[in-house]
Amino acid sequence: MAEYNLRINPTLGGVVKTWCGLVGTHVVVRLLEWVVTCARSAVGLHDVVNKKHDGDEDDNVCGMLMGNRHGKVNSKVMPATIVVDGYEVELAQSLPASRARSTILRSFWSQTRLREAVDWKKASVRSAYLTMAWLVAVVCLGRCMLFVRTGSWYVRPYDWYSMPIVGERLHSTSVELPTHILASCKFRNVSIAKTELLSVADVIANASDIKRKASPKVVYVVPFTAGSIVTMSDDNLMPQQAALMPSTHNPLEVLTVPYQHVEPREALSVFPFWWNVILGEHFAEQVKPSSLLDRTVETLNLTFHLVQSVEELDALPSNSSLLVIAQGLNDMTEFLAMNRPKIFKVGFIALAREDCNNPEALQLLGEPRIRFGLMPFGDCTLVDGKRFSTIPLGPSFKQNFPINAHATYIPAISERQYLLNLVVSWSVLKPTRIQAMMAALDVCDTVTRPRTFVKRALAPPRKCVIEHNDFVVKALQHVDDRIGTHAKGWLSAPPSAHVDNLKQSVFTLCPYGNNPEESRVWEAMAVGSIPIVEDWVDEALEPGKFYHPSYPTTWKCVREDIHGILKRLKAPVLFVRDWERDLSRLIDYYVRHPQELTDLQTRVTDWYAQVGRHLQATLIQNVLDRFD
């Protein structure tokens, strides 16, 4: 069994750098003190010399130089007499004024010795003590962090962090497996067939002349969560342009499209992807933003209008078509339960639960007002592949990920600085992220590093970006979630750093979170980084057959819910079932076949654009077919 080092503790090089930094800081502080003291003394000396030659008979000359009120001479700083051209001359009596001034000042600076300003031995010893204190604090904090996030005070073997082993260790003594949890699945395996990618042009071509020539149709988009309509501000709707700084040395990058950002609403995280991206202007030219509150498809006489208040919703006529964008399926039940005297035709886009187990599923299934529903994650009780379908999770815009990332400059493989990136947070409930980090560290220590000095000099290896969120950062994130502050931003890297890491990485590692689908997959593809995605291990990891670490009694995601979109739409991503076994093999293969790697990147960027057009077409097709 391979031994892994998660690099929790500081390295010897890190300790030495810390000690050197502390010594350097001590020296700089002492030098600053010395400079300030000398400057003050020089000013005082200049004043004394002027006074002597102006007839001032103050006898406490040397005392005045160092601010000594008792007039005692500090011979190490300024003697009572100085030697000029071989003669000992009294301080300001035997020379002309101009020559005396310059000679006395030269003598002063020559005798204020720099080496006496810094006690190197004391600096070294003090820095060593501080380094030891820092080392003990970091090691203790690292061990505490490791225990909190993994359940162990020290790094365990790779298999100790596997999902079924962790789940059994956490839950087998406290809960029983829900062996009949799939009994409520009505539509299992309905979404497993391959799906062809559509475009808005296909929808227009397939639409009948009657639909194309019909009177204008308006679909009212209702952002809804926590029992109320979310009013969007201009910052939530109007893209703000940011200067695109070149992340490579290619000067052409500055000539391309700048990043566009919108301010997301944390309570409604699904809104930016659908309103600003899918219904934006970045995929199909047939879909056009006619205003901040409207999106139009002129060929189909179709308009999506954003509702901004409950009063506006109440003013709509009966039988209006509503597209509700909600944070969760529970929000949909709240929306339907609102006492509305009018009957609406409702479609929705909402997040299902990460465990694919939604108590609201049967209620939504029997609700006649709901014409269609689109949801990430899915639920085999609800998803039938027709009326209710799964959709991608899409990028996360909480950190201001650009809404037009795919339309900006995409560096080629040869221009990227990093072989791979893995930036994750650890948790006892997300153990395979630790396995991914173990495998990534091993790959970056072996595959990416030439074994000889000559090879390193001739062909420097690509670097890797492997990071886990700091314990303090995670603590601040919990504080932010509780009280609505933004303290995490004080310690986190700026949002642009995340985009740059993706743009500069050939591969992006995407291990499980609570659910296998992660926004990182879609963010990577948007900027041309090839995702390496963790797939489901085997048939044993089905609901009712193992303890899921996060959802031991409610886990209901079946096989088609595990990256079903990627597989159904034939995404050009790389899957691994075991990070230790598969990652080094994949990396080694593509490093030795650069042309295949370049072709794969091209397919990734093309596929992401096609999926954007496909989601546009899917939404518009549902509106045309189910809102008649």
pTM (two decimals): 0.78
Q: What is the model's pLDDT at position 98?
A: 53
| Tokens found for residue 30 | 């002492």
Q: What is the model's pLDDT at position 78?
A: 44
Q: With both helix axes pointing from N to C terminus, report the angle between 594-626 and 579-592 in degrees, rounded to the nearest 10.
A: 110
CA-CA distance, 374 to 184, in Å (whole number)? 20
* 230 touches 223 (CB < 8 A): yes
Residue 372 pairs in a beta bridge with 347
* 350 touches 388 (CB < 8 A): no
CA-CA distance, 87 to 238, in Å (whole number)? 82
Write out pLDDT tens, residues 338-384: 866 678 899 999 999 999 999 999 899 989 999 999 999 989 999 98
Q: What is the model's pLDDT at position 38?
A: 67
CA-CA distance, 43 to 52, in Å (whole number)? 15
Q: What is the model's pLDDT at position 48?
A: 53
Q: What is the CATH number of domain 161-183+402-616?
A: 3.40.50.2000
Instruction: Pick left, alpha or beta for residue 530 (phi over 0 → left; psi -120 to 50 → alpha; otherwise beta).
Output: beta
Q: Which residues contact 342 (CB under 8 A, 6 or more apart)?
A: 316, 317, 318, 319, 320
Q: What is the model's pLDDT at position 343?
A: 80
User: 120, 31, 60, 623: which is closest to 373 by C-alpha?
Assistant: 623
Q: Is 579 helix (H, G, I), strand (E, B) or coil?
A: helix
Provide the 10 A C-beta neighbour count for residue 399: 18
Spell out, as residue ranges, where the chain has pLDDT lower than 70.
1-8, 38-118, 190-194, 209-214, 242-256, 339-341, 447-462, 469-496, 538-540
Write out pLDDT tens, residues 259-278: 888 888 878 989 999 999 99
Write out pLDDT tens, residues 36-75: 776 666 565 555 555 544 544 444 443 344 344 333 434 4
Q: What is the model's pLDDT at position 425?
A: 82
Q: What is the model's pLDDT at position 36?
A: 74
* 500 touches 247 (CB < 8 A): yes
End-to-end CA distance of the chain: 62
CA atoms within 13 A on the CB side of 187: 20
Q: Which residues contact 332 (CB under 8 A, 6 or more apart)?
A: 324, 326, 348, 350, 360, 364, 370, 373
Q: What is the model's pLDDT at position 260?
A: 86
Give burial (CB, 10 Å; 0-12/13-18/19+) of 494: exposed
- Tell me, what amino acid is at 339? N
Domain positions in the chain are 1-151, 161-183+402-616, 214-398
